[in-house]
Amino acid sequence: MKFIRPLFSTLAVLMVILTPFFSGASAQTFSDKQRGDIDSLIREYILTHPEVIADSMEQWQKRRETNRDQQQRKTLSSLDSKVYENPMTPISGAAEGTHDLVIVEFFDYQCGYCKKAFSTVLKILETDKKIQVAWKEFPILGPASRIAAVAAMAAKKQGKYFEFHVAIMSLKGRLSEQRIMDAAQKIGLDIPRLNKDMNDPAISAYLEETLRLGQSLGVNGTPAFIIGEHVIPGAIGEDQMRKLIKLARAKQK
């Protein structure tokens, strides 16, 4: 309503101002002078009432965000099995059958915001024993990101995905293949086996599928979270994450 009132007033005023021009124009076109006068009147009104433009832009942005959220929810519903049921997706948290909510995170190991958000996710896992986190590898920040993602999926074959995830997320600065392998060795991974498993075509296919999944959901950066029916871009704080978890649980009842 905040937008409708000023817009209605604007249109009403402009109609009163412009009626003399339109009433005499009927089927003929305006002269250059008439067009200039109309432009001047509109410009003067907008300059006098700039809040109309601000209000209209605010409402346009709200409608755009609402439409985007509705489309994301629709897409999320149609891709539900790929989001939550892919057996290759690493899962941490509550044991299967004891959880009531799954948080999905799309991330890149070289993303500073992902590392910042990781501490929040860890707090949630430590304090909420009914939460699972599904880790969606989303390597978009260069070759080293891809190597880290492939190594992480290979580490999963040795039952050490989460340990590897923590180790790489704890590294500061840019990654390199050497740093990634050093971290893998420190957590006790069998390096020859890791190298062999990293060549598994199933891992490459899974990562490509995850990239397509994220793109379908409108994920164009990292981190991005799915909590309930919401796709949330960016690193969110603990309070906001807990509010979204509470909202998701309430809608499940």
- For the chain, the three-class secondary structure string (H helix, E strand, C coil) is CCCHHHHHHHHHHHHHHHHHHHHCCCCCCCCHHHHHHHHHHHHHHHHHCCHHHHHHHHHHHHHHHHHHHHHHHHHHHHCHHHHHCCCCCCEEECCCCCCCEEEEEEECCCCHHHHHHHHHHHHHHHHCCCEEEEEEECCCCCHHHHHHHHHHHHHHCCCCHHHHHHHHHCCCCCCCHHHHHHHHHHCCCCHHHHHHHCCCHHHHHHHHHHHHHHHHCCCCCCCEEEECCEEEECCCCHHHHHHHHHHHHHHHC
Give yes or no: residues 90 and 68 share one domain.
no
Give yes or no: residues 241 and 213 share one domain.
yes
Give yes or no: residues 218 and 103 share one domain.
yes
- The whole domain housing 25 covers 4-78
What's 234's domain CATH number? 3.40.30.10
Give yes or no: residues 93 and 130 share one domain.
yes
Q: Domain boundary at 37, 63, 78, which? A: 78
pTM score, whole prediction: 0.74
Give yes or no: residues 155 and 229 share one domain.
yes
Give yes or no: residues 24 and 108 share one domain.
no
The number of distinct structural domains making up the chain is 2
pLDDT in tens, the chain (253 residues): 444 444 445 555 555 555 555 555 544 567 777 778 777 887 787 788 777 777 777 776 677 666 666 666 676 667 788 899 999 999 999 999 999 999 999 999 999 999 999 999 999 999 999 999 999 999 999 999 999 999 999 999 999 999 999 999 999 999 999 999 999 999 999 999 999 999 999 999 999 999 999 999 999 999 999 999 899 999 999 999 999 999 999 988 7
